[in-house]
Chains A and B, each alone.
Chain A
Amino acid sequence: NAGVTQTPKFRVLKTGQSMTLLCAQDMNHEYMYWYRQDPGMGLRLIHYSVGEGTTAKGEVPDGYNVSRLKKQNFLLGLESAAPSQTSVYFCASRDTEKGRSNQPQHFGDGTRLSIL
């Protein structure tokens, strides 16, 4: 049981290049999230998904797009990378609520992205 797996772990891009970050979870979770974390700051939500085929904007969605074509995968795309998008990106997944319990998020180990 791998949990949440993010690929790649590291990447360096030039300004204007595009790339896709992949998040895969094997826990059959409905909800998935993409965050970014900048030095000395907490995690900020970029986009999230409440199920296959659905996506929604979070706190800082500009410059990013996402897709959830399969339940287990959540892709984060940068169409034209900018230096301001240099950050560590975390993906998380979460199960649906069970009764009154509040399901925690399960995180991957992050993708470190540098844009020159």
Chain B
Amino acid sequence: LAKTTQPISMDSYEGQEVNITCSHNNIATNDYITWYQQFPSQGPRFIIQGYKTKVTNEVASLFIPADRKSSTLSLPRVSLSDTAVYYCLVGVTGGYQKVTFGTGTKLQVIP
């Protein structure tokens, strides 16, 4: 299993861009990188997934360097409603569960 390391917490002011970096030095060739968001009292929600280079959707962007040993989740112009815990997962999720959720990064957006 590829182990991930991400900051425990981050603070940001409203309107700023937030970048959360995840390290996964032993990522395997077939591993994807997936980010989830979890609000209090709710289950995690899928945000974005990538394999290499850059992926963008309506919510976030995911930057993956060529060596794939890290990835950066970018949230543009955050608002108070983006306050949540963000999880970085690495693994091949076939029928057999091969990913684990770490403790995530708690993002606090400040007015």
Contact = CB atoms under 8 A, between A and B. Distances in A.
Given A102-B34, A102-B92, A103-B93, A42 B102 contact: yes
A58 B104 contact: no
**B contact patch SS:** loop
**A contact patch SS:** loop
A40 B43 contact: no
Contact size range, A: 20 to 34
Contacts, number: 58
B95 A30 contact: yes
Interface residues of B, number: 23
Interface stretch (A12-20, A65-73, A74-82, A89-97): A89-97
A114 to B, nearest CB: 15
A102 B49 contact: yes
Contact of B42 (A45, A51, A109): A109
Interface of B: 32, 34, 36, 41-46, 49, 51, 87, 92-97, 100-104
